[in-house]
């Protein structure tokens, strides 16, 4: 799908559309209202032999903003105006293009094109940084002659760069086809009476984003998900668990033959030794709760892993990498992701920082970003390791 916005470079998209069609692509074009002032929709509909859409209200009974992005494999927004970039960064959906982009679960590339002052404005740069953090691919503008007879950064990236970005995104959509992926996510709850339990701050967000990304790459994904208020992604088989024992049983039953297993669940190491059938009555006395060991799910997967590429997560507050390397060896993992959780960093929404460790000395810093973008970076790195 191509999203064309109201910038001078809109005319260049006719040539790109023609190239894509000649290479066998099926192309749907959405134009903003302003874009139609620069190029006529007829140009695109003739090239694609398909209708061109610009309004939410042309055929609302067919819900075009959802249908178009469900049928597409990837979206390129080019030229992306400062205005559409700002709307996307803030979740504004006030026309067909921005509404469709908000509804998209497929890779999106944004190719900004504008006057250099607009491009270098702190608002535009901050909006682009937000989109990068969310996993959008930004195709940087080129430097050179601008329509207003100035020179600077802001020319739409050359066609070749746009085609490369599309090829990268399309490769991602197929890269896990035929692979079975198992992901554990979320906290466990270990109850000591019907309403009280010991748990932790995990929300499952990291595992949910990994499951979403793995499914978007064509993987056959099973998500073992603990109690959370977050919604699992569509197109993924979800198996719920509450306690560490339930996760252990489900993991032994469901995921031993996966090609790739990523264990992000925050599993309780201990559980209360007894669970009262009725609510414990409040007294003036202190309450002693004895905790006993839970089974170690990750170690058990490591002992039985066969051909599975097994990846653990280490949520550490001190000595992160040394502890994680020790866990990598002891639990027979192929790789481990270090997550610094001091001060509850790493839990829930917001940016996170991950480091991937593998083999004797292998190390890759995945940087700081939103969990959705980090999920894509982690899967890129794991796919590379699995092939090497």
Ligand X SMILES: Cc1cc2nc3c(=O)[nH]c(=O)nc-3n(C[C@H](O)[C@H](O)[C@H](O)COP(=O)(O)O)c2cc1C
By CB under 6 A, which span of 6-14, 69-77, 347-355, 366-374 interacts with ligand X?
Answer: 6-14
Q: Is 200 a catalytic residue?
A: yes
By CB under 6 A, which span of 79-87, 262-270, 342-350, 361-369 interacts with ligand X?
Answer: 79-87
- CA gap 306, 34 in Å, rounded: 57
- CA gap 48, 2 in Å, rounded: 11
Nearest approach, Cβ of residue 61 and ligand X (Å)? 24
**By C-beta, is 7 or 226 nearer to ligand X?**
7
Q: 96 with 30: CB under 8 angstroms? A: yes
Q: 325 with 358: CB under 8 angstroms? A: no
**By C-beta, is 75 or 297 nearer to ligand X?**
75
29 phi and psi angles, rounded to 5 deg? -115, 130
By CB under 6 A, which span of 70-78, 111-119, 229-237, 307-315 interacts with ligand X?
Answer: 111-119
- CA gap 28, 36 in Å, rounded: 15
Structure tokens given for 361: 């000395």
By CB under 6 A, which span of 13-21, 76-84, 337-345, 367-375 interacts with ligand X?
Answer: 76-84
Select from 113, 165, 208, 260 the one that contacts ligand X (CB under 6 A).
113
- CA gap 288, 196 in Å, rounded: 14
141 is an interface residue for ligand X by CB under 6 A: no
Provide the H-helix boundaries in 220-276. 244-254
Per-residue binder mask for ligand X (CB under 6 A), 83-102, x = binder: xx------------------
Q: Strand, helix or coil at 283?
A: coil
**By C-beta, is 114 or 354 nearer to ligand X?**
114
- The residue assigned the tokens 């105006």 is 81
Residue 368 CB neighbour total at 10 angstroms? 12
81 is an interface residue for ligand X by CB under 6 A: yes
Please report the beta strands in 255-369, taking only residues with DSSP state E, as ranges in sequence order.
260-263, 270-272, 291-293, 309-316, 335-340, 352-358, 362-369
Nearest approach, Cβ of residue 54 and ligand X (Å)? 10
| CA distances (Å), origin 356, targets 127, 286, 336, 365 | 28, 43, 6, 6
346 is an interface residue for ligand X by CB under 6 A: no
End-to-end CA distance of the chain, in Å? 33
114 is an interface residue for ligand X by CB under 6 A: yes
54 is an interface residue for ligand X by CB under 6 A: no
- CA gap 345, 10 in Å, rounded: 43
Q: 73 with 174: CB under 8 angstroms? A: no
8 is an interface residue for ligand X by CB under 6 A: yes
Select from 2, 3, 7, 301 the one that contacts ligand X (CB under 6 A).
7
310 is an interface residue for ligand X by CB under 6 A: no
**By C-beta, is 34 or 246 nearer to ligand X?**
34
Structure tokens given for 238: 């979800």
Select from 17, 32, 54, 222 the one that contacts ligand X (CB under 6 A).
32
Select from 1, 3, 6, 313 the one that contacts ligand X (CB under 6 A).
6
**By C-beta, is 3 or 219 nearer to ligand X?**
3
**By C-beta, is 87 or 320 nearer to ligand X?**
87
**By C-beta, is 87 or 327 nearer to ligand X?**
87
Query: Of 83, 115, 127, 200, which one is the catalytic site residue?
Result: 200
The residues binding ligand X (CB under 6 A) are 5-9, 32, 34-35, 79, 81-84, 113-114, 118
Q: Which residues are catalytic?
A: 200
């Amino acid at each position: 799908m191509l999203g064309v916005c109201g910038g001078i470079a809109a005319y260049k998209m006719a040539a790109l559309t023609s190239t894509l069609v000649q290479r066998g692509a099926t192309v749907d074009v959405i134009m903003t209202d302003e874009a139609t002032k620069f190029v006529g929709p007829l140009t695109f509909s003739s090239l694609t032999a398909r209708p061109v859409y610009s309004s939410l209200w042309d055929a609302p009974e067919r819900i075009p903003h959802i249908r178009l992005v469900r049928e597409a494999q990837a979206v390129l927004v080019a030229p992306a105006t400062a205005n559409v970039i700002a709307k996307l960064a803030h979740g504004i959906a006030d026309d067909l293009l921005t509404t469709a982009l908000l509804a998209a679960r497929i890779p999106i590339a944004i190719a900004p094109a504008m006057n250099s002052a607009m491009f270098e404005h702190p608002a535009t740069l901050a909006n682009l940084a937000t989109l990068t953090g969310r996993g959008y691919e930004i195709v940087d503008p080129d430097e050179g002659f601008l329509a207003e007879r100035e020179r600077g950064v802001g020319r739409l990236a050359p066609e070749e760069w746009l085609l490369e970005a599309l090829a990268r995104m399309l490769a991602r959509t197929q890269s896990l086809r035929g692979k079975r992926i198992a992901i554990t996510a979320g906290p466990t709850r270990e109850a000591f009476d019907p309403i009280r339990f010991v748990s932790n701050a995990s929300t499952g967000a990291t595992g949910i984003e990994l499951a979403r990304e793995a499914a978007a790459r064509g993987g056959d994904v099973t998500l073992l998900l603990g109690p959370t208020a977050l919604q699992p992604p569509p197109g993924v088989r979800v198996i719920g668990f509450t306690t560490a024992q339930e996760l252990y049983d489900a993991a032994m039953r469901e995921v031993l033959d996966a090609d790739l297993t990523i264990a992000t669940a925050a599993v309780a190491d201990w559980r209360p030794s007894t669970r009262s059938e009725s609510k414990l009555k409040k007294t003036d006395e202190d309450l002693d709760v004895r905790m006993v060991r839970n089974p170690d799910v990750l170690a058990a997967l490591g002992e039985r892993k066969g051909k599975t590429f097994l990846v653990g997560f280490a949520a550490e507050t001190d000595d992160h990498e040394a502890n994680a390397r020790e866990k990598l060896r002891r639990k027979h993992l192929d790789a481990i992701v270090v997550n610094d959780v001091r001060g509850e960093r790493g839990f829930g929404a917001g940016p996170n920082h991950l480091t991937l460790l593998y083999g004797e000395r292998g190390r890759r810093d995945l940087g700081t970003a939103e969990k959705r973008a980090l999920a894509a970076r982690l899967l890129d790195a794991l796919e590379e390791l699995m092939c090497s």
